[in-house]
């Protein structure tokens, strides 16, 4: 498309590639006159401003010259890369003169712009070229075979490349080789081209074809291949461009005959050697690939000839062409819309000539009639082939989990004729880890949590701590895990009972003068040696006896008495004896508090500088139920009223209180900076404190406050970004509905190849999304009657329900293949997982893409799919998968109207599961997805969205809500037990209904059938045997869709099992080939079955004797998570040492020596590969510990 | 010749596109590489692919030299063309999905200089808005701003629809980075960022990490990579910082999910990773090719394009 135009009849030169912004210099052409017949000349410089949408080019400078020009070039000599204009404009004049201009001075408006000038040539200088290797070398050509080489650094005397060629002739073109710097070529209108070697100072080869019709108007070297060049012929009888290779210089390598009349100018793109511009007397500007001869592009030009054409060196998509109608046009080779430009062009043309009367005839010239192109197509197509400069050869993109996807194309250049398949292209996936220390510390923390070695972890932290505060925080945290934590807290605060005792003794032995007494007991503590201080310490540590002694010693009888009352009957009586002897009172408030146990008031009113004492008092006296609240209160005061130092101390109060949330808030406030390590600092403490709280207080370990949740999710994000996805999952708060966490969990799970687990998963993470409601009706025609929903339902499941679940007794041999090939959870995962996103559709119904709809949802498909698609050769398979269903309905249609009913029955078995809740949720989950998908499968449905659901039993109706990510773990259990029980061998097919369906041909003829083929071309699994019927493909994709979103949770990263990770296509293939026997999950090897039975039995025993719900929950969870172990057993991927260790544990369980079991456990963990055992060993430890505790 | 490779939201699937007109999807879980789909429909080299957020299903957009944008969707395990947009007059060089909070919106930048915005309106219909002449002689890259509610970094009360301001950045052959903003349903040029002296090859708006600062990386034919930051909520004062001047074209920039690392891909086939230090200076932390620095660049898998 045309970008700019200038109304000049001029030669043109682009600024060199280094120059920014881009300029175009124009010099009045010596050979053309415009309608003014003016012979005045000028040199102008325009700026190419592409951000200006108008066609005008901004004129930067005009210099009135006394010369007109045959050739103008802009060399980069002495160029700097700055923003200033630089380089040298070199002009070839009419009288053998070569003039050097300084473009910077022209733009600056200087009067003196000429750097140098030489009149050395004979006749007009038509040929100029700058050597691209030594930009100070310029070659010029003129009449009489004159060629000079000019050194711009020493312009006075030019050199010659050798003896003049004979006969003498004009030199019309000259060009330096693009690869070899001392090679120069010149050409003359006679059609001969001469190649000069400047080192030898002579012509080394002459190129000419023998018909003598060539009339050279253009000469250009190949940008990349040193020996190739093109010559263009101006002769209308031979309007060709010849490509020569000097290695074979007897005849042209290739002749481009795309012009119908003589070629006036050519230009070879430096940015892409496959682009050669040529303009001719046929008024065409063509862009061809000189290497093939193919015309790639024809510029939408006017009908005038162009006599000069130039690529812009800096912007490879831009070119300029000077035409005989007095215009220089700037084009983009990339196509684009030219609307609005064309009209302007015509207007300007008319007006520029309109009022002229150059001949004095009194008659204005008629407007120039430009023959308009007949096709008023405003859209200009781009080059047929993408230019080299837009082909991105390299890229690196981050993706979730700190992965970096990189690709590169080492052979960036594609040579024609080279099969692309020979080029190997790789995409690399790398794990980027930038926070090594962060990860290391995170691993330590996880290890501590896993091994429950909290005390040593804290101790280690204390040892490592740089700052006192850090040390005390860890000391406080550590105390949480020790016996008698309150006493230890006191010690940490500086109150040791033993120390006090010593001091009391000292006091009693040597009389100490009464120290300062202060009514506010809290301010006296720093004078530890005085009596009140000692009393206080004694009180704070609960040492009544010492306190009473001190009071007595200090003549504080009332205090002594009162204290004695609190101290017990015996002490009281002893004290009373001495009471009357002495009487004085000082520290009444403390005494009051101690006696009345009103600690709240103390905490509220004490001087914050004495927070330690207040905390100590609380630690000593507060009742367990008010202890945490008092610590909190003190922390709050410190935080809100104290100075910055005290604020941080509030953390200690919160640690005592076990208030995780407040600790997070306080710590966050005290620490600035968002670096991973500071977050790690916080999380370490929080995790440890949470563990402590879980040990000591009966709180829900999963309860997480908003702030903590945010921090934890930040932390998880960081871990994920470093590639530690599994670790990230473990730190993500489990019980929260915060959307960002739910989203992150979902993402992490899936990234790990698992399905989200946990309660919150019940909620579709994206369901909040408001979506416009979809229009109903598009597919309505395909659905017949009320059965449609059921039908859709089945189809949607697109892996029919496992035998025994939805349709008791109805065995579907070909469906469970997934189960067979991959881990057994596929099916459940699918059931649960599928709807996650579809659920959105259900809510809005809007995403049944119009095009996809019909293709994907043929009402008949459910039946046909298994029949024809899954069985390339139905014959060998004696049982028809869908037979069982046939008896259940009398409809002629192969739907499954009865299906909803059967499922309630399947509920019963479900309830018999060891984990009833899971069974229930399973039921919900399973029907759910289909229901959801119904909605989206039938954008309009027969009557809208709900008929489908309303046809379902109540239990199923809840399906959509329960949705896609029902905890797979639960399902797993249910399924594992269930499937084999209910599994029934396929019933032989007898139904006549099925026969037509089984026939692929008839299948095809059914109305909905056309759709399947649509799918066929788009997916051809590579391993598909070529001969397989096309019909097959429509269906095989169906199961496929499940694959991506469903990953068996059981498959851990290290799993070598092929199936879970296998492409859907593969799975499907296997499915088709698998015999029915393989439907069930791979069994656990018999010799290891005892592991499962023993562990399960142990858990059951524990469950029976466990009383508190928390333990029960733990055990339930353990039961589920041991499934990982069982899967590994099925896969037989565990190393022999682990296996034997597990058997040893089982033996110890049988003898009820759980401690021994734990020892074996520790041994296994310490000697095995972490990744191998991490999925189940911690769980096993929990079970053993519980069993030990419960003594079952 | 591969032109783009993108992982899906979860990092479990890889989409690649190539000069051979194909778009391929691989399952790359657990270090494997299994071809899931080979999508044919383009009639020219395919430049870029972009995954939509999974809440809309499994959707992939691809753009090609053939002037088409194709949106592919997986239905029942089959990848199918669900929409084909042919509204550009020249090569479509870049596609980018808007943050999922806005709905299903795709921005497409073309060599015809225009940027198209395709919004899914439900029921298979797409609404097209076109910014003509966004970048003279071509738009090379588009990148959406993260969905952040202006002036409030705190979660909006539930039930209240957040008042998002939609923005995206584009880079083009006019050497400019432009920022576009939707006002009253119309897209307007909000900012024109000038620093590059040659084609802007790529722009990447950094993911939001909860800070009020917006950050954009841009790279250019001129070998320069700039980091643009804007601290004020109105989005008016952008200031560039030169990350580095490379000796070759810089083709691609990509932020890590946590927005603290920038991957820069150069024409010399080098990929470097950059990180901003505490004092605001950008430092190269790794040359992925050479495996230097604090990064372990482990090649987990490789695949043959054909």
Tens of pLDDT along A588-600? 556 656 655 666 7
Task: List the single range of A190-194, A373-377, B64-68, B149-153 with lowest mean pLDDT.
Answer: A373-377
C-alpha span between A942 and A108 (Å, rounded): 78
Rounded Cα gap, residues A154 and A152, in angstroms: 5
* Number of A–B residue contacts, CB under 8 Å: 395
* Residues on chain A touching B136 (C-beta within 8 angstroms): 3, 50-53
Best B77, B196, B252 residue to mutate vs chain A (most A CBs within 10 Å): B77
Query: Which residue among B2, B100, B266 sits closest to A427, beta carbon to beta carbon?
Result: B2
Query: A474-478 long-range contacts, Cβ below 8 Å, gap at least 24?
Result: A474/A685, A476/A652, A476/A655, A476/A656, A477/A655, A477/A685, A477/A688, A477/A689, A477/A692, A478/A454
Which of A129, A135, A71, A508 is CA-nearest to residue A307?
A71
B181 inside 8 A of chain A by CB: no
Task: Report the share of chain A in percent with pLDDT over 70.
Answer: 56
Probe site for chain B from A15, A19, A392 (most B CB atoms < 10 A): A392
Higher pLDDT: B295 or A1143? It is A1143
Contact between B137 and A318 using a beta-carbon 8 Å cutoff: yes
Cα angle for residues A101, A105, A109 (degrees, 5° grid): 120
Residue A542, C-beta contacts closer than 8 angstroms, at least 6 positions apart: A620, A621
Q: Higher confidence at residue A808 or residue B108?
A: B108
Residue A722 is encoded by which pair of tokens? Answer: 């470093």
Mean pLDDT of chain A: 66
Tell whether A31 is within 8 A of chain B (Cβ).
Answer: no
State whether residue A390 sits within 8 Å of chain B by CB: yes
CB contact under 8 A, B273 and A432: yes
pLDDT at A146: 87
Query: Which has the higher per-residue pLDDT, A761 or B54?
Result: B54
What residues of B are in contact with residue A1039 (Cβ under 8 Å)?
Answer: 77
Instruction: Provide φ and ψ at A442, rounded to 5°.
Output: -65, -40
Least confident residue range of A672-681, A928-937, B181-190: A928-937
Residue B36 corresponds to which tokens in the numbers above?
């899931």
Residues 66-125 of B with CB under 8 A from A: 67, 73-83, 89-91, 93, 100-101, 103, 111-114, 120-125
A393 touches chain B (CB under 8 A): yes
Q: Comparing A780 with A43, which gets the higher pLDDT? A: A43
CB within 8 Å: A718 and B89: no
pLDDT of residue A34 exceeding 60, the answer is yes
Residue A801 DSSP code: P
SS (H, E, C) A434-463: CCHHHHHHHHHHHHHHHHCCHHHHHHHHHH
A1047 closest CB neighbour out of B29, B192, B257: B29
pTM value surpassing 0.90: no
Chain B interface, mutation test: which of A336, A767, A829, most B Cβ atoms within 10 Å?
A: A336
Q: Hey, is the C-beta of A774 within 8 angstroms of any chain B C-beta?
A: yes
Distance of alpha carbon A567 from alpha carbon A547, whole angstroms: 10
Whether the CB of B63 is below 8 Å from some CB of chain A: the reply is no
pLDDT at A438 over 50: yes
B202 has pLDDT over 90: yes
Query: Which segment of A198-207, A217-226, A1176-1185, B212-221 scores lowest on mean pLDDT?
Result: A1176-1185
* Closest-CA residue of chain A to B252: A395
The verdict on a CB contact (< 8 Å) between B288 and A430 is: yes
For chain A, the first-to-last Cα distance in angstroms comes to: 86
Name which of A225-239, A286-300, A824-838, A1162-1176 the model is least confident about: A824-838
Please give the mean pLDDT across all residues of chain B: 84
pLDDT for the residue numbered A1029: 39
**How close A177 gets to chain B, by Cα (Å)?**
24
Instruction: List CB contacts (< 8 A) between A53 and chain B.
Output: 133, 136
Does A421 contact chain B (CB < 8 Å)? yes
Instruction: Tell me which chain B residues have a C-beta less than 8 angstroms from the C-beta of A1034.
Output: 78
| Per-residue exposure over A382-418, b if at least 16 CB sit within 10 Å of its own CB, e if not | bbebbbbbbbbbbbbbbbbbbbbbbbbbeeeeeeeee
Helix, strand, coil percentages (3-state) for chain A, rounded to 5, are: 45, 15, 40
The nearest CA of chain A is from the CA of B84 a distance in Å of 10
What distance in Å separates the CA atoms of residue A335 and residue A44, rounded to the nearest whole number?
28
d(CA B171, CA B134): 9
Indicate whether A585 pLDDT > 70: no
Whether chain A has a CB inside 8 Å of the CB on B207: the answer is no
> Which range among A761-770, B54-63, B90-99 shows the weakest confidence by mean pLDDT?
A761-770
**B297 and A407 in contact by Cβ < 8 A?**
no
Q: What is the 3-state secondary structure (H, E, C) of A636-687?
A: HHHHHHCCHHHHHHHHHHHHHHCCHHHHHHHHHHHCCCCCHHHHHHHHHHHH
A1018 in contact with chain B, both atoms CB, cutoff 8 A: yes
Q: Locate tokens 């080098």: which residue? A: B270
* Cβ within 8 Å, pair A406-B306: no
Interface of B with A in 18-37 (CB under 8 A): 18-20, 27-30, 32, 34-37
> Region A1068-1072: what's the mean pLDDT?
29
**Angle between the N-to-C axes of helices A468-479 and A676-696, in degrees from 0 to 180, rounded to the nearest 10:** 30
pLDDT reported for residue A424: 60
Q: Binning pLDDT at 50, 70 and 90, where does residue A1028 land?
A: very low
Residues of B in contact with A335 (CB under 8 A): 89-91, 111-112
For residue A312, give how far its alpha carbon lies from the nearest alpha carbon of chain B (Å).
Answer: 13
Question: How far, in Å, are A1052, A1135, A1173 from residue A1161 at the CA level?
Answer: 21, 15, 11
Instruction: Lowest mean pLDDT of A200-204, A357-361, A696-700, B280-284, name the range.
Output: A357-361
Interface test with B, best of A272, A395, A858 (most B CBs within 10 A): A395
B137:A50 CB<8 A: yes
Per-residue pLDDT tens digits for A176-232: 999 998 999 999 888 888 999 989 888 888 888 776 678 888 999 999 899 999 999
Q: CA nearest B65 in A: which residue? A: A386
Contact check, Cβ <8 Å, A775/B93 = no
CB atoms within 10 A of CB B63: 30
Q: Is A134 exposed, middle or buried (0-12, 13-18, 19+ CB in 10 A)?
A: middle
Of A335, A426, A837, the CB nearest to B57: A837
Cα distance between residue A886 and residue B10, in whole Å:
41
């Amino acid at each position: 498309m045309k970008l700019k135009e200038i109304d000049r009849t001029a030669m043109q030169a682009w600024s060199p590639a280094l120059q920014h912004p881009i300029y175009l210099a124009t010099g009045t052409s010596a050979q053309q006159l415009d309608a003014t017949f003016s012979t005045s000349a000028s040199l102008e410089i325009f700026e190419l401003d592409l951000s200006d949408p108008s066609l005008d080019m901004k004129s930067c400078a005009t210099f009135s010259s006394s010369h007109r020009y045959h050739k103008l070039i802009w060399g980069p000599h002495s160029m700097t890369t700055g923003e200033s204009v630089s380089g040298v404009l070199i002009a070839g004049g009419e009288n053998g003169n070569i003039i050097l201009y300084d473009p910077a001075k022209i733009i600056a408006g200087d009067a003196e712009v000429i750097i140098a000038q030489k009149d050395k040539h004979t006749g007009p200088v038509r040929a100029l070229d700058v050597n691209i290797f030594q930009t100070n070398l310029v070659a010029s050509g003129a009449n009489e075979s004159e060629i000079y080489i000019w050194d711009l650094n020493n312009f006075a005397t030019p050199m010659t490349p050798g003896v003049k060629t004979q006969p003498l002739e004009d030199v019309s073109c000259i060009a330096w080789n693009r690869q070899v710097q001392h090679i120069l070529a010149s050409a003359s209108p006679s059609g001969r081209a001469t190649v000069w070697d400047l080192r030898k100072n002579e012509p080394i080869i002459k190129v000419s074809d023998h018909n003598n019709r060539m009339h050279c108007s253009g000469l250009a070297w190949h940008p990349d291949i040193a020996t190739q060049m093109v010559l263009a012929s101006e002769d209308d009888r031979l309007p060709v461009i010849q490509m020569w290779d000097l290695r074979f210089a007897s005849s042209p390598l290739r002749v481009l005959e795309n012009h119908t009349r003589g070629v006036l100018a050519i230009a070879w793109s430096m940015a892409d050697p496959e682009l050669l511009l040529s303009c001719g007397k046929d008024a065409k500007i063509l862009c061809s690939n000189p290497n093939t001869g193919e015309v790639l592009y024809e510029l939408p030009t006017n009908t005038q000839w162009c006599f000069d054409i130039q690529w812009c060196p800096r912007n490879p998509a831009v070119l300029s062409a000077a035409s005989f109608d007095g215009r220089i046009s700037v084009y983009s080779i990339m196509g684009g819309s030219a609307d609005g430009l064309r009209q302007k062009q015509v207007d300007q043309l008319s007006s520029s000539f309109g009022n002229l009367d150059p001949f004095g005839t009194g008659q204005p010239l008629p407007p120039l009639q430009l023959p308009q192109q007949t096709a008023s197509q405003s859209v200009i197509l781009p080059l047929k082939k993408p230019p080299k400069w837009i082909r991105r050869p390299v890229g690196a993109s981050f993706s979730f989990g700190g992965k970096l996807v990189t690709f590169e194309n080492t052979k960036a250049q594609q040579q024609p004729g080279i099969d692309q398949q020979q080029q190997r292209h790789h995409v690399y996936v790398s794990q980027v880890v930038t926070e090594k220390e962060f990860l290391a510390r995170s691993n330590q923390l996880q290890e501590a949590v896993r091994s429950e070695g909290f005390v040593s972890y804290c101790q280690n932290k204390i040892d490592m701590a740089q700052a006192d505060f850090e040390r005390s925080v860890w000391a406080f945290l550590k105390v949480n895990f020790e016996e008698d934590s309150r006493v230890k807290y006191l010690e940490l605060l500086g109150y040791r009972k033993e120390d006090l005792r010593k001091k009391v003794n000292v006091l009693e032995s040597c009389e100490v003068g009464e120290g300062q007494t202060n009514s506010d007991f809290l301010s006296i503590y720093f004078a530890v040696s005085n009596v009140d201080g000692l009393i206080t310490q004694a009180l704070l540590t609960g040492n009544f006896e010492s306190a009473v002694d001190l009071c007595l010693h200090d003549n504080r009888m009332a205090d002594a008495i009162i204290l004695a009352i609190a101290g017990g009957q015996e002490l009281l009586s002893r004290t009373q004896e001495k009471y009357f002897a002495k009487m004085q009172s000082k520290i009444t408030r403390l005494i009051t508090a101690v006696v009345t146990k009103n600690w709240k008031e103390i905490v509220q009113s004490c001087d914050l500088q004495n927070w330690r004492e207040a905390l100590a008092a609380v630690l000593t006296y507060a009742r367990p139920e008010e202890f945490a609240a008092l610590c909190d209160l003190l922390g709050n005061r410190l935080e809100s009223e104290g100075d910055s130092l005290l604020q941080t101390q509030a953390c200690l109060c919160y640690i005592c209180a076990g208030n995780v949330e407040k600790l997070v808030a306080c710590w966050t406030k005290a620490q600035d900076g968002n670096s991973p390590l500071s977050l790690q600092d916080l999380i370490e403490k929080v995790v440890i404190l949470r563990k402590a709280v879980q040990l000591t207080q009966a709180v829900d370990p999963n309860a997480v406050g908003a702030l903590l949740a945010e921090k934890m999710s930040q932390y998880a994000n960081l871990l994920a970004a470093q590639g530690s996805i599994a670790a990230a999952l473990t730190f993500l708060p489990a019980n929260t509905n915060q959307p960002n966490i739910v989203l992150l969990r979902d993402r992490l799970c899936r990234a790990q190849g698992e399905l989200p687990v946990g309660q919150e998963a019940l909620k579709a993470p994206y369901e909040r999304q408001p979506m416009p409601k979809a229009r109903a009706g598009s597919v309505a025609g395909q659905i017949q009657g009320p059965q449609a929903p059921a039908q859709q339902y089945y189809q949607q499941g697109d892996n029919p329900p496992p035998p025994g679940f939805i349709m008791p007794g109805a065995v579907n041999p070909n469906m469970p293949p997934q189960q067979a090939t991959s881990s057994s959870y596929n099916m459940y995962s699918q059931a649960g997982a599928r709807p996650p996103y579809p659920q959105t559709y259900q809510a809005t119904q809007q995403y049944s893409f119009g095009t996809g709809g019909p293709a994907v949802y043929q009402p008949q498909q459910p039946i046909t799919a298994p029949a024809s698609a899954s069985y390339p050769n139905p014959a060998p398979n004696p049982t028809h998968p869908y037979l069982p269903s046939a008896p259940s309905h009398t409809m002629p249609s192969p739907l499954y109207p009865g299906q909803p009913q059967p499922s309630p029955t399947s509920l019963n078995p479900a309830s018999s599961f060891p984990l009833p809740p899971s069974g229930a949720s399973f039921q919900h989950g399973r029907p759910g997805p289909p229901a959801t998908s119904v909605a989206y499968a039938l954008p309009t449905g027969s009557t809208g969205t709900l008929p489908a659901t309303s046809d379902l039993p109540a239990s199923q109706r809840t399906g959509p809500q329960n949705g896609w990510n029902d905890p797979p773990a639960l399902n797993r259990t249910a399924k594992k037990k269930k499937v084999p029980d209910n599994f029934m061998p396929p019933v032989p097919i007898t139904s006549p209904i099925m026969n037509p369906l089984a026939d692929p041909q008839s299948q095809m003829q059914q109305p909905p059938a056309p759709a399947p083929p649509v799918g066929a071309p788009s997916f051809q699994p590579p391993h598909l045997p070529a001969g397989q019927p096309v019909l097959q493909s429509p269906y095989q994709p169906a199961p496929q869709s499940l694959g991506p979103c469903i990953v068996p949770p059981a498959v851990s990263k290290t799993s070598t099992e092929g199936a879970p990770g296998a492409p859907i296509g593969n799975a499907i293939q296997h499915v088709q080939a698998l015999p029915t026997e393989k439907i069930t999950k791979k069994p656990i090897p018999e010799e290891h079955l005892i592991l499962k039975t023993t562990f399960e039995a142990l858990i059951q025993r524990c469950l029976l004797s466990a009383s508190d719900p928390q333990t029960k929950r733990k055990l339930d969870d353990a039961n589920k998570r041991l499934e990982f172990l069982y899967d590994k057993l099925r896969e037989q991927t565990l190393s022999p040492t682990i296996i034997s260790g597990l058997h040893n544990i089982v033996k110890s369980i049988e003898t009820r020596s759980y401690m021994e079991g734990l020892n074996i456990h520790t041994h296994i963990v310490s000697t095995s590969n972490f990744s191998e055992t991490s999925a189940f060993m911690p769980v096993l430890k929990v079970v053993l510990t519980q069993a030990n505790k419960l003594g079952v | 010749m591969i032109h783009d490779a993108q992982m899906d939201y979860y990092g479990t699937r890889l989409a690649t596109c190539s000069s051979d007109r194909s778009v391929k999807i691989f399952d790359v879980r657990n270090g494997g590489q299994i071809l899931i789909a080979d999508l044919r429909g383009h009639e020219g080299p395919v430049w870029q692919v972009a995954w939509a957020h999974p809440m809309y299903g499994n959707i992939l957009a691809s753009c090609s030299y053939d002037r088409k944008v194709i949106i592919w969707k997986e239905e029942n395990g089959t990848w199918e063309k669900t929409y084909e947009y042919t509204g550009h007059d020249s090569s479509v060089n870049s596609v980018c999905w808007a943050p999922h909070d806005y709905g299903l919106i795709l921005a497409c930048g073309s060599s015809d200089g225009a940027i198209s915005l395709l919004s899914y309106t439900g029921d298979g219909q797409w609404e097209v808005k076109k910014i003509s002449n966004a970048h003279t002689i071509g738009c090379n890259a588009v990148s959406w701003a993260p969905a952040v509610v202006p002036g409030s970094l705190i979660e909006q009360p539930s039930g209240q629809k957040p008042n998002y301001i939609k923005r995206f950045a584009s880079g083009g052959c006019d050497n400019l980075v432009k920022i576009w903003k939707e006002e009253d349903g119309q897209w307007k040029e909000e900012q024109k960022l000038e620093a590059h002296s040659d084609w802007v090859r790529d722009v990447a708006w950094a993911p939001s990490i909860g800070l009020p600062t917006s950050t954009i990386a841009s790279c250019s034919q001129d070998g320069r990579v700039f980091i643009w930051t804007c601290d004020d909520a109105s989005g008016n004062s952008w200031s560039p910082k030169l990350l580095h001047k490379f000796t070759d074209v810089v083709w691609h920039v990509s932020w890590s999910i946590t927005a603290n690392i920038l991957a820069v891909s150069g024409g010399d086939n080098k990929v470097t990773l950059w990180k901003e230090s505490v004092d605001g200076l950008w430092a190269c932390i790794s040359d992925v090719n050479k495996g230097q620095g604090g990064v372990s660049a482990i090649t987990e898998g490789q695949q043959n394009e054909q």
